[in-house]
Amino acid sequence: MSFTLHPEEDLLLVVDPQPTFMALCPDELPVPGAEAVMPVINRILAGPIARAVVTQDWHHPRHLSFASQHPGRRPLETVDLPYGTQVLWPDHGVRATPGAAIHADLDQAKVVMILRKGFRQAIDSYSGFRENDRQTGTGLAEWLRAVGVRRLFIAGITRPFCVDWTAEDAAAAGFETWVVEDACSRLGPDDALDASRNRLEAQGIRFTTADQLHGENA
Ligand code: VGL
Ligand code: ZN
């Protein structure tokens, strides 16, 4: 299959294309293969899609999602916060640090908006639409509606966290939502990734590839 893309209604949402998630920043939150999605995303951006929005993890230096803020706790353990269970991460995405920048290789020509998220010290934000308390909005849905977007293609870093949570909220906000699977990095075991994909598909979210979005193999 392939897509007939509309310049106003279709938009690529690039989740967290930041060195903090790459081998470039080994002491932050390197995700296996994260750098490999950058050329795939750039290839999509060189194709028929007209516009893109980028989300940017932008944390307080003592963000509550950092294991360093919970004495005796280690990354990947969980803690109970007022809004629910939160996975603890190594320090990453610290606002205005080199690792939190938009990756220098990203072709930004079609990027019309950059949305910073996770900036409240006490609330994490995997999704570009809502913080992890599931209540605090980011304004992204309203912005996308204001500019006429109807269909979202989601790529970036990383499944099943920021990418999948963003996709779920995109669909809940009424956007036709596709995950560009080969343009997303993956963190964690396959069974968790598969379970998350099944949950998304049950909500009407579909999965596609960069080639299909690019119009090849049509
Ligand atoms: C992410 C964990 C913590 C992501 C961000 O971009 O998927 N994961 N912060
Ligand atoms: Zn983060």
CA of 161 to the centre of ligand 1 (A): 6
Atom of ligand 1 nearest to the CA of 21: 6
Q: Which of 37, 54, 57, 120 to mutate to test the pocket of ligand 1 (most atoms within 8 A of CB)?
A: 57
Q: What pTM does this model have?
A: 0.97
The pLDDT, as a whole number, for residue 216 is 65
* Token pair in block for residue 66: 């950092």
| CA distance linking residue 131 with residue 117, whole number of Å | 8
Residue 16 annotated as catalytic? yes
Residue in this structure with the two tokens 């009407």, named with its chain if needed: 204
The pLDDT, as a whole number, for residue 217 is 47
| CA distance linking residue 53 with residue 144, whole number of Å | 9
Whether 28 is in the pocket of ligand 1, judged by its Cβ within 6 Å, is: no
Helix axis angle, 162-172 to 190-202, nearest 10°: 10
The pLDDT, as a whole number, for residue 1 is 75
Whether 37 is in the pocket of ligand 1, judged by its Cβ within 6 Å, is: no
The pair phi, psi for residue 69, each rounded to 5°, is -95, 0
Residue 117 annotated as catalytic? yes
| CA distance linking residue 149 with residue 146, whole number of Å | 8
Residue 162 annotated as catalytic? yes
| CA distance linking residue 126 with residue 161, whole number of Å | 6
In the chain, the largest separation of any two C-alpha atoms, in whole Å, equals 54
The pLDDT, as a whole number, for residue 215 is 83
pLDDT, averaged per 10 consecutive residues of the chain (218 residues), comes to: 92 98 97 97 97 98 98 97 97 98 98 98 97 97 98 98 98 98 97 98 98 76
The pLDDT, as a whole number, for residue 218 is 42
| CA distance linking residue 180 with residue 40, whole number of Å | 10
| CA distance linking residue 212 with residue 13, whole number of Å | 16
Q: Which ligand is nearest to the CA of 120?
A: 2
